[in-house]
Amino acid sequence: MIRSQRHLNFALKAIHNSPKGRDYFLGACLTKGSRVLSKAENSTKSSKKKEKVPLYYRSSHAEQLVIKKALGKIRKGALRGTTLTIVRKTARGLSMAKPCPNCMKLIKFVGITDIRYTDWNGNLTKLQEEIPNE
């Protein structure tokens, strides 16, 4: 199996146990060589404010969570040379999972340079653009 396909499978396993009832699932996997450092899926926690306000949602992106889990095991500099793979799965199959600008800033901060994500056609694509400095 080619390396990219293994990364895709690892990221898909991250969303395997996600809660049902969502329109899509997004998972991320952080690997170094053949070793899986961490896996995570998007997380949504509900909470109520003290006032009589409707339920609101607080979410964490899979990219943020996978990095947080990995940093719990190793130090920041050790994330250099790792591969971050992000996958979005819908009822129709795989779809666009490119990291948002805030996640890209975090990814750069911790030193990850090999970023792969599913594109609109469900193909695994390597990020070619420059990661923002801000």
Distance CA 82, CA 76 (A): 11
Residue 94: beta bridge partners? 89
Is residue 32 scored above 50 in pLDDT?
A: yes
Strands in 14-69 per DSSP E: 24-32, 35-41, 43-47, 56-60
Question: Residues 110, 71: contact at Cβ < 8 Å?
Answer: yes
- pLDDT (tens digit per residue) in 39-71: 888 876 655 554 443 434 456 888 999 999 998
Q: Spell out the domains of the chain, with CATH numbers in brackets.
A: 3-126 (3.40.140.10)
In the three-class reduction of DSSP (H, G, I as helix; E, B as strand; rest coil), residue 26 is classed as strand
Mean pLDDT, rounded, of the chain: 78
Overall average pLDDT of the 97-125 stretch = 91
Residues in the chain: 134
